[in-house]
Amino acid sequence: MSALSSWLWGTSQLDEAIDKATSEFLPAGTEDIALNLEICDQIRSKSAPAKDAMRALKRRLNHKNPNVQVLALSLTDICVKNGGDHFVAEIASREFIDNLVSILKVSNLNHEVKNSILRHIQNWGLAFEGKPSLSYVGTVYKTLLSEGMFHL
């Protein structure tokens, strides 16, 4: 991607890139690592707004295709690790985490999607410990743990 086109990244390009990275047409277990990292770079450099990225990922997590949901969770995690603190703050928000919890409550939720959501909430909750602005994830993790969602 040229410097000019990356400077001009907006919400529609971000949505398009996230849709492509989480496409239902990608074979299960296949990720476009280069595209995923490009999305992270755009978020980290603030060329793509973190809130818009979070909302695009949230939209893909609500997709009915479990492959799309798993890819969206994986992309979210890659962006948590590489997208910068401003993106992490959006993922730790009530808007995003409550959406994950609502997906968990779907009665016929795909087993792989459920396990992936639980694993990510657990990992993020532990990783964000000691960071008051990100504490909602840990609170939700502890609530899910007390509700027996994690079979340890």
Which pLDDT score, from 0 to 100, does residue 4 have?
39
Domain limits for position 133: 3-146
Is residue 23 included in any domain, yes or no? yes
Per-residue pLDDT averaged across 6-30, rounded?
A: 82
Residue-wise pLDDT for 26-37, tens only, equals 987 899 999 999
3-state secondary structure of 36: helix
Is residue 152 included in any domain, yes or no? no
Which pLDDT score, from 0 to 100, does residue 65 have?
96
Which pLDDT score, from 0 to 100, does residue 27 have?
87
* Residue 42 belongs to domain with CATH number: 1.25.40.90
Is residue 31 included in any domain, yes or no? yes
Is residue 58 included in any domain, yes or no? yes
For every residue of 91-129, DSSP letters joined together read HTSHHHHHHHHHHHT-TT--HHHHHHHHHHHHHHHHHTT
Q: Which amino acid is at 51?
A: K
- Domain total in the chain: 1
Which pLDDT score, from 0 to 100, does residue 96 have?
99
Which pLDDT score, from 0 to 100, does residue 10 have?
59
Name the pTM for this structure: 0.91
